[in-house]
Amino acid sequence: MNRLPLSAMLGVIGASLLIAGCATETLPSMPSIPARMPFVGRTPDLEVHAVKSIKTVRVARIAVMPLLETPGKDGAVVEGSGETVTAELIGQVALAGGWELVPETDVSDALQKLPPVTAANQETVAIALGKQLNADVVLYGTVDKFKERVGIAYAAESPASVEFTLHLIQVQSGQVVWTAKFARSQKALFENVFNVVNFVKAEGRWVKAHEIAQDGVQEAVANLHDEVTLARAEAAFPGGSVEESKKAILRVQQKEATQ
């Protein structure tokens, strides 16, 4: 598929903005062109809270619990969205490295021996799961909204919208040391004309819910990875700082990926 170069695309955007500023009564309607041009927002959609002592939380082994689907008052959750976001979360935690991720099958087997997980007992089950799996921390949470777009990629009637909440609990202390809340609905380009980079990234189309969820999970896991102390980094590079160790691990992983 042929794509417009960035300069041409920006020119189209600038021309559109100029037209939008003219008197509407002198312009003919153009029903064949979408009234809104989409973009995907970034970091402001992720809100993170961590305890002051999170840098002292040492993570050698981390477990990820399946996320619960818990639609809010104005939220719609597509069935199976919990599995979708959980799969992305497991993948991103595995890619981050520096800690040992408990295999998904081990988590599933251990949960069979515990009470069914609900919104009310999620934290209690997370602690019990962590003890069974000998994990230092357990990552769990909820999918609060997972609304798919209505319409096609370049002429959506209603945009996709995703909200989820993640918690990291330290098994030994039973304390939730980190919480991330992500909420994003794709908006029209004209609602924020300064975020052109993300408009180009999305290729000028209305994205699907799983793409928004993917961005949110990546941002959340990246933040968590930077917050905690990675035991693997300490063991592999005892002579350097944690930040230097993380960078060294990343270089090794990138080298391995190219081989």
Give pLDDT tens digits for 209-227.
888 889 899 999 999 999 9
Domains and CATH numbers, the chain: 41-188+207-227 (3.40.50.10610)
The answer to whether residues 112 and 90 touch, using CB atoms and an 8 Å cutoff, is no
For residue 44, what pLDDT band results from cuts at 50, 70 and 90? confident
Residues 6+ apart with CB under 8 A from 98: 59, 225, 230, 232, 233, 245, 246, 249
pLDDT digits (tens, 9 = 90+) for 144-176: 988 775 444 444 445 678 899 999 999 999 999
For residues 44 and 183, the answer to whether their CB atoms sit within 8 Å is no
Q: What's the pLDDT tens digit per position in 68-111?
A: 998 766 668 778 999 999 999 999 999 998 999 999 999 999 99
